[in-house]
Structure 1
Amino acid sequence: MAKQISIITFTGKLGNLIGYSRGGKHFLRSLPAKVRQTTATRRAARRFGIASKRGSLIRSAFSGLMDVRCDSGHVNRLTSALIPSAGGDTGSITAFRFNRHTGTDRFLTLSPKLSRNGILHIPPQTLPGFNGIHTLEIKVIAARIDFTTHQVVGTETAVLVVNAGESFKGAACDVDIPGKGTLVVVLQIKGLQNNMPSCNRKYLAADIIAVQPPQTLPVLHRQTYSKDPVFTPPSKEIEAPSPARTRFSFIQLE
């Protein structure tokens, strides 16, 4: 350890030297010739790298489709959620909030469920009322992500607007995007004031509500649904969409 006595001091790396301060005084030390990593540190670095890469792929799949602004720490939080399993168990990100200040459970007391055959069910329930919030915009965003090839295979979205503080009779949606990879479903809910989104972050939520890994075995007795995801009340049959339809669509109760 050497002390800096020059009029001009510095901190940080300069060539093979590192400047730093301690107790108001500046010192120098040389860079180590070789960084020794233990097996544990190498394993930790590898796990972090895998988690970081998968987290980046997940964010890129939804970044252009979500209308809710993420909090400043969502990148680190998503990576941290993937680190324990080295990114292998993507199910660990279920219930992840892109906006940590508000979750979709603030608006839906009964959580949506994704069945094995790719049908997302939103149970019937009474929606809570909020001061100044007249309607809720419910948006489902589904993405098929292949973590092996590091590609987003496909994405689809659907939007449904319902009245806040009233009875909701439920809905179902086929979100099974064709292709190989993991199916990740995000539910976004925004509180609307006179058909305009609230500026209050406590009325803006976007959560990962379901993660379905690639299925290696065929699902037997799958219920027949349209290939294009269609939201429909459970009491009505799903209508066949026109061939030109490429996005999710909704059928609401009268």
Structure 2
Amino acid sequence: MGKQTGIIKFTGKLGPLIGYYSGGEYLVRSVPERVRQSPSTRLAAQHFGKASALACTMRTALRPLLHIPPDNNIVNALNKKMHTILRADDLHRHKRFIPRHFQQLRGFTFTPRGSLMRSLPCDPVVSRHFDGSIHVHIPAMKAPGSHPSGTHVLVQAIALWTNGTSSSAASSEPMLLEASQPSEAFTLKIEAGGEGVCCVILEAIACQTFNGKPLLMRHQRHIACEVIAVLPPQRTRETFTAVYPEGDEALRKVGIVEYIPPKRE
């Protein structure tokens, strides 16, 4: 391993050399003459490649809908999480994505330095209706959390569907809340979209008005984006049994086929 000292530095393979960036420095090493792999290491590499490929489709589907800045650390974190979900399959030698294991994605954050509870101090409630639409109910709040100089908070819900090989996503209409005023309860609706497991993501970003228009602030502590619920593939209306919390008559209304209570610490 050596350091790159030239004016032009590179990453990746270049002839017999491999350049890479680590610890704030550009380093270089030689390409190994021979790589020995056992059947088990070869299979493990295939599993990681399969998990990374699905994570890539998920990021690609989300990219045009998210307002958060790109972060390379999230790429690695999502790849690792999907690899863990794939390895949870203990029935097949060639691992498969099992829908129930996607529950491990609940609580996954795309903004490690920002907290959803800080930006949106409430317990969202997620429900899915017979038509496939997803509703995220945001209860009333005294005041949304925001940056000290922020005037508003942008709130948006996103549904990410994945069937183990491909992914698609759709978002609700964004809601702009005044940071210094109490907020009434409201619901974000996402129209029915793809098929497969559905990850419901809630995004809350501090904004500042400029010439009467809200501009997104890039302060990392006040940008939050987190998976708040994971819904299994939707079954047909004839075979689905509605599930409701006991005693909660307010949610026993026609149309709701699935209910996820708010996450309480």
Same structural fold, with TM-score higher than 0.5 when normalized by the shorter chain: yes
Quick check: which has more Rg, 1 or 2? 1
2:197 aligned partner, one-letter code: T
Secondary structure of 1:115 counterpart: strand
Residues 14, 66 of structure 1: alpha-carbon distance in 2 compared, 3 angstrom cutoff: closer
User: Hey, what does 2:249 align to over in structure 1?
Assistant: none
Within 1, Cα distance between the matches of 2:54 and 2:146?
37
Secondary structure of 2:218 counterpart: coil
Residues 68, 30 of structure 1: alpha-carbon distance in 2 compared, 3 angstrom cutoff: closer
Within 2, Cα distance between the matches of 1:29 and 1:49?
21
Across the two proteins, how many residue pairs are aligned to each other?
201
Within 1, Cα distance between the matches of 2:59 and 2:194?
19
Secondary structure of 2:44 counterpart: helix
* Map 1:120-135 → 2, pairs under 5 A: 120-127=136-143, 128=145, 130-135=147-152
* Map 1:44-63 → 2, pairs under 5 A: 44-63=44-63
Match of 1:141 among 154, 158, 173: 158
What's the % identity of the aligned pairs? 21
User: Hey, what does 1:205 align to over in structure 2?
Assistant: 224
2:85 aligned partner, one-letter code: S
* Map 1:1-254 → 2, pairs under 5 A: 31-32=33-34, 35-39=36-40, 41-86=41-86, 87-88=97-98, 89-117=101-129, 118-127=134-143, 128=145, 130-148=147-165, 150-152=166-168, 155-175=170-190, 177-194=192-209, 195-216=214-235, 217-220=239-242, 223-224=254-255
Aligned Cα RMSD in Å?
3.1
1:211 aligned partner, one-letter code: V
Cα shift at 1:173: 3.3
- 8 A Cα contact 1:70 1:99, kept in partner: no
Q: Is the deviation greater in 44-53 or in 68-77?
A: 44-53
Within 2, Cα distance between the matches of 1:129 and 1:151?
32
Within 2, Cα distance between the matches of 1:198 and 1:119?
27
Give CA-to-partner distance per residue, 1:25-67, whole Å, 9 cap, x none. xx999734x723143x244323312211111111011101112
Secondary structure of 1:167 counterpart: coil
Cα shift at 1:179: 4.5
* Structure 2 gaps, min length 5: 1-12, 19-28, 87-96, 243-251, 257-265
Secondary structure of 2:112 counterpart: coil
Give CA-to-partner distance per residue, 1:81-114, whole Å, 9 cap, x none. 1112215422222222222211322112223232
Within 2, Cα distance between the matches of 1:168 and 1:138?
12
Cα shift at 1:76: 0.3
Within 2, Cα distance between the matches of 1:13 and 1:190?
42
Give CA-to-partner distance per residue, 1:148-207, whole Å, 9 cap, x none. 4x242x523320011113322222234351442222222221111122222322222222
Within 2, Cα distance between the matches of 1:83 and 1:74?
14
Within 2, Cα distance between the matches of 1:90 and 1:183?
9
Residues 155, 219 of structure 1: alpha-carbon distance in 2 compared, 3 angstrom cutoff: farther
* Structure 1 gaps, min length 5: 1-11, 19-26, 226-254
Cα shift at 1:132: 0.8
- 8 A Cα contact 1:144 1:177, kept in partner: no
2:38 aligned partner, one-letter code: Q
1:139 aligned partner, one-letter code: Q
Within 1, Cα distance between the matches of 2:153 and 2:190?
21
Within 2, Cα distance between the matches of 1:98 and 1:51?
18
Secondary structure of 1:192 counterpart: strand
User: Hey, what does 2:263 align to over in structure 1?
Assistant: none
